[in-house]
């Protein structure tokens, strides 16, 4: 399973890249709006920092403008993936872009049938949103499980990218369901690394070692 960092903050990306566990980055207009400075320059820096895919979302609305902006975004770097929200009017655009070997991440997927349609177009990633389903008291993980079954049944190549992950349970359930990728906000990744029982265990080991009165492992 691949882990992507869901942020446009360069400092946070710099912090996590050396851990070796980050396989890519996802951004969206809301995340970009949180940052300051030239957007193009910022995105180029992120692409250079990350070895894996970097998803950048279109902000245009008409199919013609979405197509042109997608081409512009894809030209930024070899590891760019163009994010396009699911909409019927964008399907012809997505079809054209995939035929031009432009990597596409279709975002805001909320149903199995939406995922089926874009899988047939050969997109690189499908991004079902978990947390937003949970916000309206629907178990968002059911969609991830359904997508995994669909992919197994029909041999689609599109990778299931679990998005809108709000807590550790969402991440754990995505792992168990068989999602290909999970994109995680840095605040959640902090919680994964800082499990209270792990910290307690480290403190216990340190306390027991200090009782020996030694500073070195080997004399």
Domain count, the chain: 1
pLDDT on residue 195 = 85
The pTM of this model reads 0.94
In a domain, 7, yes or no: yes
What pLDDT was estimated at residue 164?
94
Structure token pair of residue 61:
């609305």
Assigned domain for 47 exists: yes
More confident residue, 178 or 194: 178
pLDDT tops 90 at residue 139: no
| Helix, strand, coil tally for the chain in percent (to 5) | 50, 15, 35
In a domain, 129, yes or no: yes
Domain that holds residue 105: 2-210
CA dihedral 212, 216, 217, 219 (to 10 degrees): -100
Q: Would you say 165 and 184 are in contact if contact means Cβ atoms under 8 Å apart?
A: yes
In a domain, 9, yes or no: yes
- Give the tens place of pLDDT for each residue, 50-70: 999 999 999 999 999 999 999
CATH number at residue 37: 3.20.20.70
Q: Active site residue: 83, 103, 210, 216, which one?
A: 83
Residue 135 has pLDDT above 80, yes or no: no
The answer to whether residue 167 sits within a structural domain is: yes
Residue 218 located in a structural domain? no
| Residue 83 among the catalytic residues | yes
For position 165, what pLDDT does the model report? 96
Question: Mean pLDDT of all residues in the chain?
Answer: 96
In a domain, 219, yes or no: no
């Amino acid at each position: 399973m691949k882990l992507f960092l869901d942020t446009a903050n360069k400092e946070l990306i710099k912090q996590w890249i050396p851990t070796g566990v980050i396989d890519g980055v996802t951004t969206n207009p809301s995340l970009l709006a949180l940052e300051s400075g030239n957007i193009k320059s910022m995105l180029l820096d992120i692409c250079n920092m990350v070895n894996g895919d970097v998803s950048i979302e279109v902000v245009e609305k008409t199919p013609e403008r979405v197509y042109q902006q997608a081409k512009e975004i894809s030209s930024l770097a070899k590891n760019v993936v163009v994010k396009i929200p699911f909409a019927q009017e964008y399907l012809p655009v997505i079809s054209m872009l995939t035929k031009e070997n432009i990597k596409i991440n279709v975002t805001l997927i909320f149903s199995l049938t939406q995922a089926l349609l874009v899988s047939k177009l050969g997109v690189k990633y499908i991004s079902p949103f978990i947390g937003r389903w949970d916000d309206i008291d629907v178990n968002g993980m059911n969609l991830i499980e359904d997508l995994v079954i669909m992919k197994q049944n029909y041999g689609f190549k599109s990778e299931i990218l679990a998005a809108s992950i709000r807590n550790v349970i969402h991440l754990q359930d995505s792992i168990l369901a068989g999602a290909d990728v999970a994109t995680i906000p840095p605040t959640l990744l902090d919680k994964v690394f800082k499990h209270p029982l792990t910290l307690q265990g480290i403190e216990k080991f340190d306390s027991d070692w200090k009782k020996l009165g030694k500073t070195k492992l080997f004399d």
